[in-house]
Structure 1
């Protein structure tokens, strides 16, 4: 049978089921084009960063790490620097940047409270907070990321302020009047870059009944503008008002029975932690956003951090001799003997200087008076132990870099016992203070006032 010459002798073509369709091919081309576009953008960003002027690099990446006093002076460098430093986003980033403690607010009645800087360049314009409308120097109750809560006993008035920028807001009194001279109030501040408005929270611990040892918690937020009493209660016999710190979004206090009690104003959760050592010689603080405690153990300071299960884990162990860096109190390390022979005298002196230096280090380690050293509150991005030694000497020691900073308390008024003073650790930032619109208390809270 003859085949039609016009017909195709090959069998009909079959479609490949695995071959990409026109829609799939178009989608693949779109993916490849998007990947090339992202690559071009990244390369362009790298090129722009490399070619950026040094002044722009410093403005965008270095200014946020400077103390507020230095940042204020740099506003005059260039108008773009002034605009950047005046931005609320920059102030929020400045508070969120990791930094170490700037100093301590000290209150030792009858002396007026004041700020003791650990760095001369990282101080505040008014150490006594004279910009606040108070008839007497207010006491700083607590501080978090540059936001301080202050109390004026003479006026029975409360303020939340930024001592570095001298901005402040008045807040109403807690619903329950405090029965002790110093209220147990902790300011909790979210230092994330999203809190560019400067919203804050105050947590006040108060005893449900005098002598009961059971504590309740009153909460105030700048958003609501009113206090309310939480439902949570906690056993906190002997709560120490001046020990309050903020860590991990919670307010914490020490007690005289060797426990730490914390309250979370967001979740309403109460947490208790037991001192991991001698509760007569311990202090709590904040480091890297977590609660830490420092405990005296013979000639060392042991630092622990609170884990996620309510227990403590060791963070650092530092010798007190290493923190203080020198014999305290000072005393002669060695005595030189007399000799008629000048050469022999020089040789004896060199040998005795060598052995005398060793003896001085040993004396510093083993003869240091233990009662002269007191642990003070601390806060910062890293663990930094703060000690009061010799009655007036304040030393901060970084457990990571092994570097120390030192400041000396005032000598007046004469006879002031700085070992019995109240201290509040403070870190200077440019964070703004959110305006407070006062609201009327809730009906079920009026009975508590």
Structure 2
């Protein structure tokens, strides 16, 4: 062929590539059609096994091993454990921690508990205290042994962790466990962040970081002002370890980026608590009869209001949050009371009149026994402790869960209003093994 059409005629290679693409497209469509048909015609048991088991609590999922051998095989697979840990879920309950009593677990759902609330499977000579929890993994500390453990309370799996460079005695170390529950964390790797004062009473905190993959602690090069840091308030949110302080700030450290963040309390710093929801830092603040929940904006670094819930709605009972004063016992009307007050003012003077009025008055101060507790989960859940009641309220669905103290296995005479509570979510997360290594030479002096 000659002329202009000779340049546009397809070659044999082009025809072959076109046929190959057509064949691949047809094969891909057949695979998609077959997959859709298998999904439509799949038995109900297969659908439940592949899509519903990951949403069950570990205790409930373990009981279903006897349904079918394929179910037992699926539940024993590490892939299922990874998928179970990555599935969004709400908090299971709270660990209580104190220096004198063993750890106890208070479940918010009767079916979502742990086999050993006291964590008796840990090789500790003293009752271990739960320092923090994230996506099913808990970091524990034995004061008598000066030993640290990372465990999964739902499965009983655990590994020992070397002590931080700075020895920290009771009341408790400020340690947060960071666990990536992504679908590619097949080894169960985790990171521990320990905050400690550079000098006692300085209010300047340094950070020590432990990675299960390296097996050694390192001292980060970042410092942060965190006067009055509350060790038991540590939470993990978005790869950052956060603590609140007594002076109304929240301090966070990200070991991956080395960044330190500071956030001011958006309300009354005497009545607030921090938590995590959907991987982001949140805080709950009491404002009279309401609880305001704020979300930290990672881009702007400030708080944004997420929701407002009344204490009455959470507790389902009347509530008078503010202190009130009843300044008169008489039933006289206001005119008579004002006239009597003016006469006394002219007779004895302003200062003495006011003092006499308060001496005759009756002051009524209702007790405010509501305390905010930490929270974690896929959605925002406000948790209140009122007397012996622990009430968790989901702000999206408006559903509540309630548990009654005391914690099983704990004394009934305990003052539960001053106990430290660590929110925990039961999952089948794997606990990565630790390869112990010697600390770097430049950090041996710090530990001594």
Fold shared per TM-score above 0.5: yes
Q: Distance in 2 between matches of 1:19 and 1:393?
A: 82
Q: TM-score, normalised by structure 1?
A: 0.86
Q: Distance in 1 between matches of 2:51 and 2:191?
A: 29
Q: Distance in 1 between matches of 2:245 and 2:171?
A: 17
Q: Does structure 1 residue 313 correspond to structure 2 residue 310?
A: no
Aligned residues of 1:327 and 1:368 also touching (Cα < 8 A) = no
Aligned residues of 1:378 and 1:386 also touching (Cα < 8 A) = yes
Rg comparison, structure with higher value: 1
Q: Distance in 2 between matches of 1:27 and 1:436?
A: 52
Aligned-pair CA distance for 1:298: 1.1
Structure 2 SS opposite 1:150: strand
Aligned-pair CA distance for 1:177: 1.4
Q: Distance in 1 between matches of 2:306 and 2:8?
A: 60
Q: Does structure 1 residue 435 correspond to structure 2 residue 437?
A: no
Aligned-pair CA distance for 1:179: 5.3
Q: TM-score, normalised by structure 2?
A: 0.86
Q: Deviations for 1:298-324, whole angstroms, at most 9, x for unmatched residues?
A: 111111111122111111111111111
Structure 2 counterpart of 1:353: none
Aligned-pair CA distance for 1:38: 1.4
Structure 2 SS opposite 1:202: strand
Structure 2 counterpart of 1:298: 288
Q: Select which of 76, 101, 122 maps to 2:66.
A: 76
Q: Distance in 2 between matches of 1:247 and 1:39?
A: 42
Q: Distance in 2 between matches of 1:44 and 1:63?
A: 24
Structure 1 counterpart of 2:323: none
Structure 2 counterpart of 1:130: 120
Structure 2 SS opposite 1:279: coil
Aligned-pair CA distance for 1:369: 5.6
Q: Does structure 1 residue 261 correspond to structure 2 residue 251?
A: yes
Q: Distance in 1 between matches of 2:11 and 2:306?
A: 61
Q: Deviations for 1:20-78, whole angstroms, at most 9, x for unmatched residues?
A: 44433433333233222211111110001111111111111111110000111111111
Q: Distance in 2 between matches of 1:206 and 1:194?
A: 32
CA RMSD of aligned residues (A): 2.0
TM alignment of 1:20-419, pairs within 5 A: 20-178=10-168, 180-308=170-298, 309-327=300-318, 371-389=368-386, 391-410=387-406, 413-419=411-417
Q: Distance in 2 between matches of 1:134 and 1:368?
A: 46
Q: Distance in 2 between matches of 1:63 and 1:189?
A: 22
Q: Distance in 2 between matches of 1:370 and 1:203?
A: 38
Structure 1 SS opposite 2:61: helix
Q: Which shows bigger deviation, 14-23 or 435-444?
A: 14-23
Structure 2 SS opposite 1:418: coil
Q: Distance in 1 between matches of 2:371 and 2:99?
A: 19
Aligned-pair CA distance for 1:217: 0.4
Aligned-pair CA distance for 1:295: 0.7
Aligned-pair CA distance for 1:19: 4.8
Q: Which shows bigger deviation, 237-246 or 174-183?
A: 174-183
Aligned-pair CA distance for 1:432: 1.4
Q: Distance in 1 between matches of 2:85 and 2:199?
A: 38
Return 5+ residue gaps in structure 2 as ranges: 321-363
Q: Distance in 2 between matches of 1:437 and 1:374?
A: 41
CA spacing shift, 1:298–1:419, aligned 2, 3 Å:
same
CA spacing shift, 1:13–1:218, aligned 2, 3 Å:
closer
Structure 1 SS opposite 2:292: strand
Q: Distance in 2 between matches of 1:296 and 1:327?
A: 16
Aligned residues of 1:241 and 1:253 also touching (Cα < 8 A) = yes
Q: Distance in 1 between matches of 2:44 and 2:12?
A: 50
Structure 2 counterpart of 1:346: none
Q: Distance in 2 between matches of 1:281 and 1:25?
A: 74
Aligned-pair CA distance for 1:326: 2.8
Structure 1 counterpart of 2:442: 444
CA spacing shift, 1:262–1:374, aligned 2, 3 Å:
same
Q: Distance in 2 between matches of 1:386 and 1:408?
A: 13
Structure 1 SS opposite 2:116: coil
Structure 2 SS opposite 1:29: helix
Q: Distance in 2 between matches of 1:12 and 1:224?
A: 70
